[in-house]
Structure 1
């Protein structure tokens, strides 16, 4: 196993995910793809959940765009769109990433970036946390529905049929929904700043 780096195991696991789906993403199947015993993978990962956490983080890392964003609301839009594209770009991506995030072990970067953007806008800690989670839940739910529809249309692959490639125009219903959530957050941040200023 010394000839394999941790990232090699993760990348091979992503291949298993794309080829077979989340239900077949096991330590045994990844080990078989690499030509090693399952026990060899425990050198890098203490459990299957640790591997799933790393796979989710790697998918998100590969989905990052080299874009400099100036305004906080543009940052939120970028993170939401990146997250959608990353999940739709992989078979069962929404189930994997939303599940890993819910369990608290991985896929934390989008929420951290959203919270940071809201803090820069002047939101307090509570609004930053709740606002980021609300935006995340919109993206998770929307993409899960897209992948369920795609799976129904083609059982062999669960990648969204209408997924936009990185940098392409986002389908209208997602863009409109994202705009509605962001509009609500802009209003909430303005009120939050005003209340804090009045209390001083």
Structure 2
């Protein structure tokens, strides 16, 4: 179980403790608002994310309108059975930051690094958050682009549902691979 007290002191603990105690949160309080300034501060912190050649391709769409959030989550398709989050972020990455064919995947890599930073920054702020895939059909991706007026030069990286978590939530036991299993030393 995870309760709100677990997140109250996140801005005063070391990174290792913060990272090891971070869990995805899908259970949000109804009608509880996260201040937009806290979201903006999380974005500000995340601007220090690494990117190749410091190109900084990441972009953030902050959705606060509850009707829009509902529509977008229906298109996303993987957030069912929970209270709707107060805020929904969409991370995109601008492909025009990259110049050569060999860099064709870099927008996704840098967008993923930025997304990870946002997730940790939200955790630091004590805000519950959950990464949500943008692996949707081309038709759904087109609708998402139309709804948010996203230009074609930006690729969709992920949605992040965020809000104030319920007082107590169950989190799944998420076993992790061991260091030895994933590491090969040469």
TM class by shorter-chain length?
under 0.3
- Between 1 and 2, higher relative CO (CA 8 Å, sep ≥ 6) is seen in 2
**Structure ranking higher in helix proportion:** 1
